[in-house]
Each structure stands twice: as C-alpha cells, then as structure tokens.
Amino acid sequence: MAKQIIKSLGVMSMLKLGAAMGFVIGVIAGIITILGALVIGAMGGAGGIVAGLIGGIIFAVLMVIGYTIMMAVMMAIEALIYNVIAGFVGGIEIELV
C-alpha cells in the first residue's frame, strides 16, 4: 500500500477529542473519588457518610470539569506544536491498509 504523511493536525479536531477523553477520564476518576469519600466518611459514623458523599460529589464534578478543560487545552497545544515541527521536519509517515 502507499504510504502517506500526516502533515498537520486540525487544532479544533484535537481540542474536541481531548475534551471527550478528558470527560471520560474525569468521570472514571470522579466515581473512584466518590467511593473513596464514602469509605472515609463511613469511618465517622452516619453523619460522616453524608458529608463524605456530598464532598465526594462536589469534588467529582470539579474533577470532570477540570479534566475536560485540561485535556482539551493540552491536545490543542500539542496539535499546534506538531503542526509547527512537521513543517520543518516533515510529518508522521503512515501506511493505510
């Protein structure tokens, strides 16, 4: 098959992909955080469970937002850097099957 060279990456495309990946990672980390907060809260009795659940949910929401923004921005920056460097040295050579 013919080899092709990836000369540039779409910045907005990478931003959307990063946001989607960050959201998924944030949800997974958020679920783990809520479970951890419940376990720690259970050590404090009935009131601790409620406090742990509320704190865990608040922190999980912040994690989802943070991971989404962070991954989106980082992927966009990586695309910009790749586009500049690929202009000088070429791009990534791939073979489509």
Q: State the greatest distance between any 2 C-alpha atoms of the chain, in Å, as a whole number.
A: 66
> Count of CB atoms within 10 A of residue 85's CB?
11
As for how many domains the chain has, the answer is: 1
Residue 1 has pLDDT above 80, yes or no: no
Pairing of strands 3-6, 92-95: antiparallel
Pick from 69, 61, 40, 64: which is nearest to 52 by CA? 40
Q: What is the pLDDT of residue 88?
A: 93
Determine the structural domain holding residue 27 and report its residue range. 3-95
Alpha-carbon span 61 to 31, nearest angstrom: 10
Q: Does residue 52 surpass a pLDDT of 90?
A: no
Q: Which tens digit of pLDDT belongs to each residue from 53-73?
A: 888 899 999 999 999 999 999
Per cent of the chain over pLDDT 70 is: 100
